[in-house]
Amino acid sequence: MLTLYHAPRSRSSRIITLLRELDALDKVNIVIVDITRGDGSGARDPKNPHPDGKVPLLVHDGVVIWESIAIIQYLTDLFPEKKLAPVAGDLKRGRYLSWLAWYAGVVEPVLIVEAAGISHPYLQATFRGPKEMAQQLETALTASPYLMGDEFSAADLLLYSPFAWFPEATPDVPAVKAWIERCAARPSVQWAAEYDAAQQVAA
């Protein structure tokens, strides 16, 4: 039994999009929860078992899986048929895992630090900055339409998402902008937006 704790229009919307891409929505029980939002609205929901009251959270037969990267990896392993991630043993998996880890370990910190207007040599030494992040994306997306080559993968779904939420953070690089548009045009993205809008009306 799989349960996803989801708050509309949040980081867990990526997991709704992923489940749609994996054609696995009917295999997951989705529980809509409240969260504390950046604008101060909302509140921690007592029915959400996430250790910090956050989303996304996936529970599989009582085992709690938190952090978007872990959930994405877990679900693409569980539903490999749609080929949204290279399976273990495929040489391409190393590159794929690197994109996921780079997102959590570098991209989110770089974007948050930049948005907060903070600068410190330790931050630059540890994460580098927006210039290096943009360079990395440009190199990959000039060589191929998606991060893993010719095919869309869960790495694209994850890595394009902050630029969809915060267009002002988008690197001014044509290949990166075209990739964001390609990812945003996927039917799963539109479907997840409509799903979230319906949940908010119902709430």
Ligand X SMILES: N[C@@H](CCC(=O)N[C@@H](CS)C(=O)NCC(=O)O)C(=O)O
Task: Give the residues lining the site for ligand X (CB under 6 A).
Answer: 10-11, 35-36, 44, 53-56, 67-68
Nearer to ligand X, 56 or 86 (CB): 56
Q: How many CA atoms lie within 13 A of 82 on its CB side?
A: 16
Nearer to ligand X, 55 or 148 (CB): 55
Helix, strand, coil abundance in the chain, percent, nearest 5? 55, 10, 35
Give the Cα-Cα-Cα angle 108, 168, 56 (nearest 5 degrees): 40
CB of 82: closest distance to ligand X in angstroms?
22
The residues, any chain, with a CB within 8 Å of residue 112's CB and separated by 6 or more, are none
CB of 54: closest distance to ligand X in angstroms?
3
Nearer to ligand X, 91 or 203 (CB): 203
CB of 88: closest distance to ligand X in angstroms?
23
Alpha-carbon gap, residue 193 to 15, rounded angstroms: 12
CB of 10: closest distance to ligand X in angstroms?
4
CB of 143: closest distance to ligand X in angstroms?
27
Nearer to ligand X, 53 or 130 (CB): 53
Question: Which residues does residue 2 pair with via DSSP β-bridges, in sequence order?
Answer: 28, 60
Shortest CA distance to 180 belongs to which of 203, 150, 156, 199?
156
Structure tokens at 4: 């996803």
Nearer to ligand X, 60 or 177 (CB): 60
